[in-house]
Amino acid sequence: MDPFAALFDHVTPRARTFFTGNLCETRHFTDDGHLHLLKGGVLTLARAGQVDLQLDEPSLLFFPRGRVHSFTVDPDRGADLVCATVELGGAEGNPIGQGLPELVVLPLASHPALAPVCDLLIGEAFSELSGRQVALDQLLDYLLILIVRHVTDSGRVATGVLAGLGDPRLARVLTAMHDAPGKPWTLEDLAGIAGMSRTRFAEHFRTRIGQTPIDYLTVWRMTVARQLLARGKPVKSVALQVGYQSGAAFSRVFSRVTGRSPRSSNGLRTADVHSS
C-alpha cells in the first residue's frame, strides 16, 4: 500500500523555477508557496513577527502555504540560489498543505537522501544546457515529493492528512477514501478498515486530522471534483464520480466547500457546458 499514490494522483505538487544564479541584493517574496535551494554564500531570512534566520551552508527552505519573506545577502559575495514557486494542489481544502509547518528548513549535510537530486538541480540551474528550464521544473517536482515524504516520516506534523498518513491505522482509512471517493462510505465502514470501534476511531481521526471522518471525506470529494471540472468533465458526470446521485446536491456542497459554483470551475467553454 502506497498511501501517497492516490493523494498525489489528484493533487500532485508542482514547482516552477523563476530565479537561478547569484543573488546580490535584498529580495522580497510574496505570499505564494516557495521553495529555495541555497547552494553557497550566507543568506539572512526575514519574516514579520519572527527572529531573522541566518543560513551559511547549503540548505533547502520550503514555504508550503506561502508567507511573505525576504532575503538579505552580503552584496560583495551574494548567495547562489535556485528559487521556485510552489503549488500543492489548490487553495481550497488543500490536503497536502494542511498540517505542514509554516517553514521547513533542511540543511543538506544533515539530509543526505536529498543530496543527489539537489546536485542534479544545481547542475542544471547553473548551466546553459538545452531543455534546462523543463529539467529544473521536473526535478523540483520530484524534490517536493521527497520533502513531503521526509516531513511525514519524521513525525514533524501533528495534525492534517500528512499526520494521518504517518499513522498506520489512519493511513489505511485515508488511502481507502483517496482511492474511492465515490463510494458511499459510512463511519462504520471506515472504523472497520482502521480496526477500531466507531467511537474510538471518530475521536482518534478528529484528533490527528483536525476534522471528522465525514467532513474530511467531503473536502476530499470536492478536491477531486475540482480537478475533474478543471479538465472539462461535465458537472453531472463529476457528481456521480464523487458519490452524489443528485447534481443539485453536489452543487450545493461544492459551493459551500469551495465558495464557487461547479459551472464556474468547469474547464469547458460556456457553450459546451450548456450542451452537456
Does the structure show a pLDDT above 50 at 274? no
DSSP state string for 162-217: HHHHTSHHHHHHHHHHHH-TTS---HHHHHHHHTS-HHHHHHHHHHHHSS-HHHHH
pLDDT in tens, 259-268: 889 988 775 4
Does the structure show a pLDDT above 80 at 168? yes
Q: What are phi and psi of 261, to 5 degrees?
A: -80, 155
pLDDT in tens, 47-79: 999 999 999 999 999 998 878 999 999 999 999
Residues of the chain with CATH 2.60.120: 5-153
Quick one: pLDDT at residue 199?
97
Closest CA to 13 of 132, 140, 163: 140
Closest CA to 142 of 224, 37, 227: 37
Quick one: pLDDT at residue 272?
38
Q: How far apart are CA 26 and CA 70, in angstroms?
A: 7
pLDDT in tens, 107-158: 999 998 898 999 999 999 998 889 999 999 999 989 988 888 888 888 778 8
Q: How far apart are CA 112 and CA 238, in angstroms?
A: 43
> What CATH number does the domain located at 5-153 have?
2.60.120
Q: How far apart are CA 264 and CA 205, in angstroms?
A: 33
3-state secondary structure of 5: helix
Residues of the chain with CATH 1.10.10.60: 167-275
Q: Domain 167-275: which topology?
A: Arc Repressor Mutant, subunit A (1.10.10)
pLDDT band with cut points at 50, 70 and 90 for residue 273: very low
Quick one: pLDDT at residue 252?
95
CA dihedral 250, 251, 253, 256 (to 10 degrees): 170
